[in-house]
Amino acid sequence: MYERILVGTDGSPTAAKAVDRAAELAAAVKARLTIVSVGQQAQQVVEAEKQRLADTGLDIETTTAAGDPAAVLAEMAAGYDLLVVGNKGMTGAGRFFLGSVPNKVSHHSPCSLLIVHTT
């Protein structure tokens, strides 16, 4: 099934729901979980998530990147079996003009994708 799961987070409460779902899946299938964040506070975000999941016993790796979050996630996902993201930004008219990370990733992910209902 899944051996390597990648989950993206921006540190928001809604993104934490996606991280939780990814952690649940990783535990269920004994997969390695990688938490990635993009942006200025990325290191603090991934470390906080790793600390929050410390008692799960999961094999957790963290990584950070710079650039467009959707592009980074799609590129990084090439080495994973599953990419997990939250659905924030996929509703409302703004998504048609500005796009959203989950929407963009859904068109470019090279692996299976789980979009978690977080809003």
Query: Domains of the chain: which residue ranges?
Result: 27-66, 69-119
More confident residue, 119 or 77: 77
Question: Over the stretch 33-81, which tens digit does the pLDDT of each residue have?
Answer: 999 999 989 999 999 999 999 999 999 999 999 999 999 999 999 999 9
pLDDT at site 100 = 84
Mean pLDDT (whole number) for 3-30 = 96
pTM: 0.91
pLDDT at site 103 = 87
Split at pLDDT 50, 70, 90, the class of 119 is confident
Secondary structure, 3-state, 1-39: CCCEEEEECCCCHHHHHHHHHHHHHHHHHCCEEEEEEEC
Neighbours of 107 (CB within 10 A): 10
